[in-house]
Amino acid sequence: MWWIATDHPDLPAIVDSPSGITLTFGELAGRAHQLVHALRARGIGPGAIVAYVLPNDADVVWWQLAMQEAGIHAVALNPALSRDEIGSVLEHAGAVGLVVGHQYASHVAGLTGPALPGLRVVVGGDLAGYERYEDLVAGFGRAEPADRRFGGPISYSSGTTGKPKAISRYGWGGDPSVIADQMKLFSRAFQFEPLTGVHLVSAGMHHGGCQSFYHGALNVGQAVAIMGRFDAERTLEMISRHRVTTAYMVPTQFVRLLRLPPPVKAAYDVSSLQVVVHSAAPCPVEVKRQMMDWWGPVIWETYGGMEGAATIAKPYRWLQKPGTVGRAVRGMTVRVLDDGGREVPVGELGIVYLEPDRPTFQYRNDPDLTASVHHGRAFTLGDVGFLDEDGYLFLRDRVRDMIISGGVNIYPAEAEAVLTAHPAVGDVAVIGIPDAEWGESVKAVVELADGYQPGDELGEELIAFCRRRLAGYKCPRSVDFMAQLPRTDGGKLFKRLLRDEYRRMADGGLAPRMSAIASGLASRPARRAHASRTTAPRGMPPRATERARGAD
Torsion of CA 287, 532, 434, 494, to 10 degrees: 50
Which helix (H) or strand (E) segment is 92 a member of? helix 83-93
pTM: 0.81
DSSP line for 18-49: TT---EEHHHHHHHHHHHHHHHHHTT--TT-E
Of 304, 194, 298, 201, nearest to 248 by C-alpha is 201
Question: DSSP code of 521?
Answer: S
pLDDT (0 to 100) of residue 19: 96
385, β-bridge pairs: 350, 395
CA of 551: how far to CAs of 38, 409, 412, 541, 544, in Å? 61, 11, 14, 11, 11
- Dihedral sign from CA coordinates of 3, 4, 9, 14: negative
- Dihedral sign from CA coordinates of 287, 290, 295, 296: positive
- Residue pair 342/319 in contact (Cβ under 8 Å)? The answer is no
pLDDT (0 to 100) of residue 510: 54
Of 64, 53, 54, 56, nearest to 19 by C-alpha is 56
- Residue pair 129/120 in contact (Cβ under 8 Å)? The answer is yes
Task: Mention every residue, 6+ apart, whose C-beta is less than 8 A from residue 6.
Answer: none
How many Cβ atoms sit within 10 Å of the Cβ of residue 344? 15
pLDDT by residue for the chain (552 residues), tens only, comes to 888 999 999 999 999 999 999 999 999 999 999 999 999 999 999 999 999 999 999 999 999 999 999 999 999 998 888 888 899 899 999 999 999 999 999 999 989 888 899 999 999 999 999 999 999 999 999 999 999 999 989 988 754 445 668 888 876 667 888 888 777 778 888 999 999 999 999 999 998 889 999 999 999 999 999 999 999 999 999 999 999 999 999 888 998 899 899 999 999 999 999 999 998 677 888 889 999 999 999 999 999 888 888 899 999 999 999 999 999 998 899 999 998 899 999 999 999 999 998 878 888 888 888 898 999 889 998 888 999 999 999 998 878 888 888 777 888 888 998 999 999 999 999 999 988 778 789 999 999 998 999 999 999 999 999 999 988 889 999 999 999 888 765 667 778 888 888 888 877 655 544 433 333 333 333 332 333 455 554 433 332 222 222 222
- Residue 532, sorted as left (phi over 0), alpha (psi -120 to 50) or beta, turns out to be beta
534, β-bridge pairs: 479
The Cα 289–Cα 286 span in angstroms is 5
- Tell me if residue 73 falls in helix, strand or coil: strand
- Residue pair 393/317 in contact (Cβ under 8 Å)? The answer is no
pLDDT (0 to 100) of residue 489: 59
Indicate the burial class of 54 (C-beta count within 10 angstroms; 0-12, 13-18, 19 or more): buried
pLDDT (0 to 100) of residue 526: 30
Residue ranges of domains in the chain, CATH in brackets: 2-306 (3.40.50.12780), 321-399 (2.30.38.10), 402-551 (3.30.300.30)
Torsion of CA 481, 484, 490, 491, to 10 degrees: 20
pLDDT (0 to 100) of residue 105: 93
Backbone phi and psi for residue 324, each to the nearest 5 degrees, phi listed first = -70, 150
Angle, to 10 degrees, between the axis of helix 232-242 and the axis of helix 251-258? 90
The Cα 502–Cα 505 span in angstroms is 5
- Tell me if residue 540 falls in helix, strand or coil: coil
- Residue 162, sorted as left (phi over 0), alpha (psi -120 to 50) or beta, turns out to be left
DSSP H stretches of helix in 269-309: 285-295
DSSP line for 223-270: EEEE-SS--HHHHHHHHHHHT--EEEE-HHHHHHHHTS-HHHHHTS--
